[in-house]
Amino acid sequence: MAARALACQRGRRRLFRGLNLQLEPGSVTWLRGTNGSGKTSLLRILAGLSQPSEGEVTWAGKPLKQVASEARQGMVYIGHANALKEDLTLVEAVAFLAVLAGLDEPRGRARQALHHLNLANRCDAPVRTLSQGQRRRGALARLVLDEQPRTWVLDEPFDALDSQSVAILCAMIEANTLRRGAVLLTSHQPVELANAREFDLEPWCCAS
């Protein structure tokens, strides 16, 4: 995935302009910037959920909008909101994510993924009864539903996680890079990942 000369406008305010970014297979990129600098907006543009005011996102060298279906299969986007259905049990909610991803045996995959994230004892609990940290781990279970090398676009994935869960997520990220997947993430806390590069949004930001 690559971004070329991207610009993002929110109302009368320009968040960034002329932004270039390349996500190489096997790489981890830590997107940095102050609050309001446009980190979430950039992630949503890269995930194909919103459009830039200028520039282009490409997937495998082709415009993202032309290969949207292929890109959806090769990408996992997890936003700051956990996007788990409140009235489902946790295993049902994660199985639903597996169905959306076109994976077979969704319920079995969901249970395995939740076990990996130390949520086996909460599988049958309604999502609405879970703590914020448990919900975050439930959302992150999408990352271990299968072992394909995908591009992960993650908005504050470490939010609400305890130290053990942070270590598990770091291991998951490193496993994805070893199979030649790419990871782009934001984080307000230091990122303890080998070979992670920092991409600072501030040089691309515009005040007007």
Rounded CA separation 129/98 (Å): 22
* CATH architecture of residue range(s) 2-204: 3-Layer(aba) Sandwich (3.40)
Rounded CA separation 206/150 (Å): 32
Give, for all 208 residues of the chain, the pLDDT tens digit. 999 999 999 888 899 999 999 999 999 999 999 988 999 999 999 999 999 999 999 999 999 999 999 999 999 999 999 989 999 999 999 999 999 999 999 999 999 999 999 999 999 999 999 999 999 999 999 999 999 999 999 999 999 999 999 999 999 999 999 999 999 999 988 888 988 999 999 999 875 5
Stated pTM of the model: 0.96
Rounded CA separation 134/93 (Å): 13
DSSP, res 205: B
Query: Do the bridges between strand 151-154 and strand 182-186 make them parallel or antiparallel, or are there none, so unpaired?
Result: parallel
Predicted confidence at residue 195, as pLDDT, reads 87
Summarize pLDDT for 143-193 with one digit per residue, the tens: 999 999 999 999 999 999 999 999 999 999 999 999 999 999 999 888 889
The ranges assigned to domains in the chain are 2-204
Sheet strands (E) in 123-165: 151-154
Rounded CA separation 80/197 (Å): 21
* Residue closest to 23 by CA, chosen among 113, 168, 154: 154
